[in-house]
Amino acid sequence: EQLDGLERQPQLMRDALVAYQDSVFAAVASGGDVAPEFELLTIDEIEQRFARAREDIDLQASFNLVSLWEAQLRRDYWVRVDERWKDDLSRAYREVHKSKDDPTKVRLVEDILEKIQACCPTCKHEVGAMKPIIPFRDWVAHGRYWDFDEERVPDPETVVGTICVMLECIGMEAWV
Protein backbone atom coordinates (compact mmCIF):
# COMPACT_ATOMS: atom_id res chain seq x y z
CA GLU A 1 0.00 0.00 0.00
CA GLN A 2 2.52 2.64 1.14
CA LEU A 3 5.39 1.53 -1.06
CA ASP A 4 3.06 1.21 -4.05
CA GLY A 5 5.81 0.23 -6.45
CA LEU A 6 8.37 2.57 -4.93
CA GLU A 7 10.69 -0.35 -4.31
CA ARG A 8 10.81 -0.98 -8.09
CA GLN A 9 11.19 2.65 -9.07
CA PRO A 10 15.00 2.91 -8.74
CA GLN A 11 15.55 -0.04 -11.07
CA LEU A 12 13.06 1.34 -13.60
CA MET A 13 14.85 4.68 -13.53
CA ARG A 14 18.26 3.00 -13.86
CA ASP A 15 16.97 1.01 -16.84
CA ALA A 16 15.69 4.19 -18.50
CA LEU A 17 19.01 5.89 -17.84
CA VAL A 18 20.92 2.97 -19.40
CA ALA A 19 18.67 3.14 -22.48
CA TYR A 20 19.35 6.88 -22.77
CA GLN A 21 23.08 6.30 -22.25
CA ASP A 22 23.07 3.68 -25.00
CA SER A 23 21.34 6.08 -27.39
CA VAL A 24 23.86 8.83 -26.60
CA PHE A 25 26.80 6.48 -27.20
CA ALA A 26 25.22 5.23 -30.42
CA ALA A 27 24.78 8.82 -31.63
CA VAL A 28 28.38 9.67 -30.72
CA ALA A 29 29.69 6.55 -32.48
CA SER A 30 27.71 7.24 -35.64
CA GLY A 31 28.42 10.97 -35.67
CA GLY A 32 24.73 11.71 -35.22
CA ASP A 33 23.09 14.45 -33.22
CA VAL A 34 23.52 14.33 -29.45
CA ALA A 35 21.94 16.44 -26.76
CA PRO A 36 23.76 19.78 -26.35
CA GLU A 37 24.90 18.80 -22.85
CA PHE A 38 27.05 16.03 -24.39
CA GLU A 39 28.37 17.76 -27.53
CA LEU A 40 31.75 18.82 -26.21
CA LEU A 41 32.38 15.91 -23.86
CA THR A 42 34.63 12.90 -24.28
CA ILE A 43 33.28 9.37 -23.90
CA ASP A 44 34.88 9.18 -20.44
CA GLU A 45 33.18 12.42 -19.39
CA ILE A 46 29.84 11.17 -20.67
CA GLU A 47 30.30 7.91 -18.74
CA GLN A 48 31.10 9.91 -15.60
CA ARG A 49 27.91 11.94 -16.00
CA PHE A 50 25.82 8.82 -16.34
CA ALA A 51 27.55 7.17 -13.37
CA ARG A 52 26.75 10.22 -11.25
CA ALA A 53 23.15 10.14 -12.45
CA ARG A 54 22.85 6.50 -11.33
CA GLU A 55 24.22 7.46 -7.90
CA ASP A 56 21.70 10.30 -7.70
CA ILE A 57 18.85 7.91 -8.51
CA ASP A 58 19.90 5.61 -5.67
CA LEU A 59 20.34 8.52 -3.26
CA GLN A 60 16.90 9.92 -4.04
CA ALA A 61 15.24 6.51 -3.83
CA SER A 62 16.89 5.78 -0.47
CA PHE A 63 15.83 9.21 0.77
CA ASN A 64 12.21 8.57 -0.25
CA LEU A 65 12.15 5.13 1.35
CA VAL A 66 13.70 6.26 4.64
CA SER A 67 11.24 9.18 4.77
CA LEU A 68 8.30 6.84 4.25
CA TRP A 69 9.65 4.45 6.88
CA GLU A 70 9.94 7.18 9.48
CA ALA A 71 6.50 8.55 8.65
CA GLN A 72 5.02 5.07 8.97
CA LEU A 73 6.66 4.54 12.37
CA ARG A 74 5.45 7.91 13.63
CA ARG A 75 1.95 7.22 12.38
CA ASP A 76 2.00 3.86 14.14
CA TYR A 77 3.15 5.61 17.33
CA TRP A 78 0.22 8.04 17.24
CA VAL A 79 -2.35 5.34 16.39
CA ARG A 80 -1.17 3.23 19.33
CA VAL A 81 -1.24 6.22 21.70
CA ASP A 82 -4.61 7.59 20.52
CA GLU A 83 -6.42 4.26 20.27
CA ARG A 84 -4.90 3.00 23.54
CA TRP A 85 -3.96 -0.44 22.27
CA LYS A 86 -3.25 -2.89 25.07
CA ASP A 87 0.04 -4.45 23.91
CA ASP A 88 3.41 -3.71 25.58
CA LEU A 89 4.63 -1.46 22.80
CA SER A 90 1.51 0.70 22.91
CA ARG A 91 1.81 1.01 26.69
CA ALA A 92 5.47 2.04 26.32
CA TYR A 93 4.48 4.64 23.73
CA ARG A 94 1.82 6.05 26.09
CA GLU A 95 4.46 6.35 28.83
CA VAL A 96 6.67 8.29 26.43
CA HIS A 97 3.70 10.46 25.50
CA LYS A 98 2.90 11.21 29.16
CA SER A 99 6.52 12.05 29.96
CA LYS A 100 6.86 14.72 27.28
CA ASP A 101 6.47 18.42 28.02
CA ASP A 102 5.64 18.75 24.34
CA PRO A 103 4.07 15.44 23.24
CA THR A 104 4.62 16.30 19.57
CA LYS A 105 8.42 16.08 20.06
CA VAL A 106 8.77 12.32 19.68
CA ARG A 107 12.32 11.23 18.90
CA LEU A 108 12.76 8.44 16.38
CA VAL A 109 15.60 6.54 18.05
CA GLU A 110 15.00 7.09 21.77
CA ASP A 111 11.20 7.21 21.82
CA ILE A 112 10.24 4.82 19.04
CA LEU A 113 13.04 2.45 17.98
CA GLU A 114 14.32 1.79 21.49
CA LYS A 115 10.78 1.05 22.67
CA ILE A 116 10.26 -1.37 19.78
CA GLN A 117 13.52 -3.09 20.68
CA ALA A 118 12.57 -3.31 24.37
CA CYS A 119 8.96 -4.41 23.91
CA CYS A 120 9.20 -6.68 20.90
CA PRO A 121 11.96 -9.22 21.55
CA THR A 122 11.44 -10.74 18.10
CA CYS A 123 12.17 -7.35 16.53
CA LYS A 124 15.56 -6.71 18.15
CA HIS A 125 17.45 -7.96 15.11
CA GLU A 126 15.32 -5.90 12.72
CA VAL A 127 15.77 -2.71 14.74
CA GLY A 128 19.50 -3.44 14.89
CA ALA A 129 19.54 -3.84 11.12
CA MET A 130 18.21 -0.27 10.85
CA LYS A 131 21.18 1.17 12.80
CA PRO A 132 23.35 1.71 9.69
CA ILE A 133 20.47 3.62 8.08
CA ILE A 134 20.04 6.04 11.01
CA PRO A 135 23.06 8.28 10.16
CA PHE A 136 21.70 8.62 6.61
CA ARG A 137 18.27 9.48 8.01
CA ASP A 138 19.81 12.09 10.33
CA TRP A 139 21.79 13.61 7.47
CA VAL A 140 18.63 13.92 5.36
CA ALA A 141 16.35 15.06 8.19
CA HIS A 142 18.67 17.76 9.47
CA GLY A 143 19.25 19.59 6.24
CA ARG A 144 22.29 17.81 4.81
CA TYR A 145 24.51 20.67 5.98
CA TRP A 146 27.46 18.47 6.93
CA ASP A 147 29.51 16.24 4.66
CA PHE A 148 28.27 12.70 4.52
CA ASP A 149 30.35 9.85 3.21
CA GLU A 150 28.42 8.82 0.12
CA GLU A 151 29.72 5.28 0.47
CA ARG A 152 27.59 5.06 3.62
CA VAL A 153 24.38 5.81 1.72
CA PRO A 154 22.38 2.58 1.79
CA ASP A 155 21.27 1.25 -1.58
CA PRO A 156 17.48 1.31 -2.13
CA GLU A 157 17.15 -2.47 -2.27
CA THR A 158 18.80 -2.84 1.16
CA VAL A 159 16.59 -0.09 2.57
CA VAL A 160 13.40 -1.69 1.25
CA GLY A 161 14.29 -5.14 2.53
CA THR A 162 15.25 -3.92 5.98
CA ILE A 163 12.23 -1.65 6.34
CA CYS A 164 9.73 -4.27 5.23
CA VAL A 165 11.06 -6.90 7.63
CA MET A 166 11.09 -4.47 10.54
CA LEU A 167 7.60 -3.08 9.94
CA GLU A 168 6.19 -6.56 9.42
CA CYS A 169 7.74 -7.54 12.74
CA ILE A 170 5.71 -4.91 14.61
CA GLY A 171 2.55 -5.77 12.68
CA MET A 172 2.54 -3.17 9.92
CA GLU A 173 1.65 -5.52 7.08
CA ALA A 174 0.67 -2.70 4.71
CA TRP A 175 4.31 -2.30 3.71
CA VAL A 176 4.92 -5.81 2.51
pLDDT band at 173 (very low <50, low <70, confident <90, very high): low
Cβ–Cβ < 8 Å for 111, 150: no
Q: 24 and 46 in contact (C-beta within 8 Å)? A: yes
Is residue 176's pLDDT more than 60? no
pLDDT tens digits, one per residue of 105-145: 899 888 999 999 888 888 888 888 887 788 878 877 777 66
pTM for the predicted model, two decimal places: 0.76
CA distance 59 to 154: 8
Give the tens place of pLDDT for each residue, 72-96.
Answer: 889 989 999 999 999 898 999 999 9
Counting Cβ atoms within 10 Å, is residue 84 exposed (0-12), middle (13-18) or buried (19+)?
exposed
CB 24 within 8 A of CB 35: yes
**At residue 176, what is the residue type?**
V
Q: How does pLDDT run across 21-48, given as a tens digit for each residue?
A: 999 999 998 988 888 999 888 899 999 9
Nearest-angstrom CA–CA distance, 29 and 60:
31
d(CA 21, CA 122): 45
Residue type, 65: L
CA angle 65, 140, 75 (to 5 degrees): 50
**pLDDT exceeds 70 at position 3:** no
Question: What angle (nearest 5°) sits at the alpha carbon of residue 140, between those of residues 66 and 62?
Answer: 35
pLDDT of 137 reads 80
Segment 58-69, tens digit of pLDDT: 888 888 888 888
Specify the 3-state DSSP secondary structure of 107.
coil
The answer to whether the beta carbons of residues 115 and 89 sit under 8 Å apart is yes
Residue 175 has pLDDT above 50, yes or no: no
Task: Residue 171: count other Cβ atoms within 10 Å of its Cβ.
Answer: 13
